[in-house]
Amino acid sequence: MIPAEPVGEGRWRELARQALARLLRSYGSAQFDLCEDAVQDALLQAYQQWPARFPDDPLGWLIATARRRYADRARSDARRRHRETRAALLQPPVAPEAVQRDDSLLVLQLCCHPDLPRSGQVALTLRAVAGLTTAQIANVYQVPERTIAQRITRAKRRLCELGRPLPPPGQADECVTAVLDVLYVMFAEAHHTTAGAPPRDADLAVEAIHLTRLLRRSVPESTEVTGLLALMLLTEARHPARVGPDGRLTSLDEQDRALWDRELIDEGIRLVEQATPGAEPGPYLLQACIAALHAEAPDIATTDWDEILALYRLLEIVTGHRNPTITLNRIVAQAMVDGIDVALARIDALEADHPGLPRLNAVRAHLLEQADRPDDAARAYRRAIAATVNLAEQHHLRHRLRRLSGAHA
Amino acid sequence: MKYLIIMQVDPAVLEQLTDDQQRQIQEGHGAFIAATKERGEFIAAQALADPSQSKVVRSSGGQPEVTDGPFVESKEFMGGFYLLDVEDEARAVELARQIPDANIPGLALELRPVMFADLGAG
């Protein structure tokens, strides 16, 4: 569809994103649809003309062309819906042309606007910033294309309704937090895709990492952005050891660490080391620090569990003790430091406050297995198997349960 | 015509399988999906979580009430389904026999003709 030379698909997506960002900056997010269509028109024109004559400044060419197409479209729209678009045409540009580094952030913040539903934020970000097609996004989420198209349409309509959706520059931090959360959800979903899923032509984890890199270029000073990028890289590095060829999960204690991607680990650790000094660490940087400690350890026994436990306690404080999953992870570290009995008692207390907490019984089962209480462990495994909504995790738990019954048969 | 092939599963049976059997079942489902897709008979497949994760919404006269449920007595439950579009019932049965679960004592497949479907594409 797109000529391989002189522009690769990644570069096309980059150019499209930057052109869209520039148009949105000029005409405002209320014109999201028009801006997007104008960029698509310009891309089509580029696709037809560039093979014959490649411009000296491809981005400049694309933006200039998209602006002309925007004006054309706005005019023809105006003929149809005169009143609505007159305001848009008369409106002065939202902001003067700014340095390019801010533009990605603008579109990211727009797509991740806190007033949009999470599913809309993710779909719009993948489309407008990552440059995936609606079909690719539908494929990633295994829903009909129509469903994704509708989510994007509704999200864009909502942005238009919001009018001036972005807070003034002074409050940009809050918006970066919203972007981080969307990117984290995107990445987490990538790591929860079920085993044996059909092959996909777009990889959510790769896109999430790409987008976080992009965000970091815009706000290099944010330790949380750096922390999230590091967390993603360190998590991604373990992926080859985490998921076996048959799609079954392997837990951290049984992973073959030789399969971990050293290059990603090195980059992740470097980022953590850059961000940590003097920082008042936020949740993502703290999780990255924990992931870095795991990545540095040759095995479970030599892992610095004291430090990990301390970091989890800090993480609980930073997140206001509102996230029971963090507490569950803290208890796992606590088992290594204070012993299994202490950890099991903490699990009971946590369950009393949060019945049905995901993975609680899986953690309990692992601990009981280590404590050599096979009957109790089997009971916990059965409850964990019933409680999970993830097929790969279910296979993993069944495998542990079978192994347990086999060993004690 | 469309058929829903419901996979009736029993956790006690699944738990007794060996890792090898488990892998064969997974591969069998993968091959079944690939084959029915290739023949233009596949519409959708879903695996469902355990019934302990279910909620039931029903009215007893007033506002709909939400309860945990559905408290089935039977050990077997609907573990998932295939939605297929086939020539006739005979073909649906023929396909159901190819699903790995069909060869495992304690598991079963139930076939039901579909009367209405909206697959979200139109």
State pLDDT tens for residues A69-79.
999 888 887 77
Q: Residues A36-74: pLDDT tens digits? A: 899 989 998 998 888 888 899 999 999 999 999 999 888
Residue B119 lies in a domain: no
Q: ipTM value, please give it.
A: 0.82
Percent of chain A exceeding pLDDT 90 equals 49
**Per-residue pLDDT, A198:** 45
What pLDDT was estimated at residue B72? 64
d(Cα A152, Cα A154) in Å, to the nearest integer? 5
- Interchain contact, A399 vs B18, CB within 8 Å: no
- pLDDT number for residue A173: 65
In a domain, B10, yes or no: yes
Cα(A123)–Cα(A45) distance, rounded to whole angstroms? Answer: 26
Q: What residues of A are in contact with residue B33 (Cβ under 8 Å)?
A: 198
Q: What is the pLDDT of residues B88-121, one digit of tens each?
A: 999 999 999 999 999 999 999 999 999 999 988 7
Confidence class for position A296, pLDDT limits 50, 70, 90 = very high
Q: Inter-chain contact B52–A387, Cβ cutoff 8 Å?
A: yes
Report pLDDT for B52: 86
Q: How many separate domains does chain B show?
A: 1
Specify if B68 maps to a domain.
Answer: yes
Q: Which pTM value belongs to this model?
A: 0.83
Among the partner-chain residues A196, A395, A399, the one whose CB lies closest to the CB of B30 is A196
Q: Considering only CB atoms, which chain B residues are within 8 Å of A402?
A: 15, 17-19
In a domain, B7, yes or no: yes
β-partners of residue B5 are: B82, B111
| DSSP-H helix ranges across A247-371 | 262-275, 283-296, 305-318, 324-338, 340-353, 360-370
**In whole angstroms, what is the distance from residue A256 CA to residue A291 CA?**
16
Considering the domain boundaries, does residue B120 fall inside one? no
In this model, does residue A257 exceed pLDDT 70?
yes
Whether the CB-CB separation of B99 and B5 falls below 8 Å is answered with yes
Which domain range does residue B28 map to? Answer: 2-113
Cβ distance of A402 and B122 shorter than 8 Å: no
In a domain, B118, yes or no: no
Contacts of A51 (CB under 8 A, 6+ apart): A3
Amino acid (one-letter) located at B120: G
Q: Which chain B residues touch A246 with a CB distance below 8 Å?
A: 23, 26
- The burial of B61, by beta-carbon neighbours within 10 Å (0-12 exposed, 13-18 middle, 19 or more buried), is given as exposed
Whether the CB-CB separation of B25 and B17 falls below 8 Å is answered with yes
Supply the CATH number for residue B61's domain. Answer: 3.30.70.1060
d(CA A328, CA A303): 18
Query: Do A198 and A183 contact (CB within 8 A), yes or no?
Result: no
Give the chain A residue nearest B14 (alpha carbons).
A398
The radius of gyration of chain B from alpha carbons, rounded to an integer in Å, stands at 16
B18 domain-assigned: yes
Omega before residue B70 within 30° of 0, cis: yes
- pLDDT given for residue A326 in this prediction: 96
Q: Which of A367, A399, A401, A364 is nearest to A382 (CA)?
A: A401
Backbone phi and psi for residue A152, each to the nearest 5 degrees, phi listed first: -65, -45
Q: What was the pLDDT predicted at A99? A: 43
Task: Tell me which chain B residues have a C-beta less than 8 angstroms from the C-beta of A145.
Answer: 121
Rounded to whole angstroms, how far apart are CA atoms A294 and A283? 17
Query: Per the domain annotation, does B122 fall within a domain?
Result: no
A146 and B122: CB-CB below 8 Å? Answer: yes
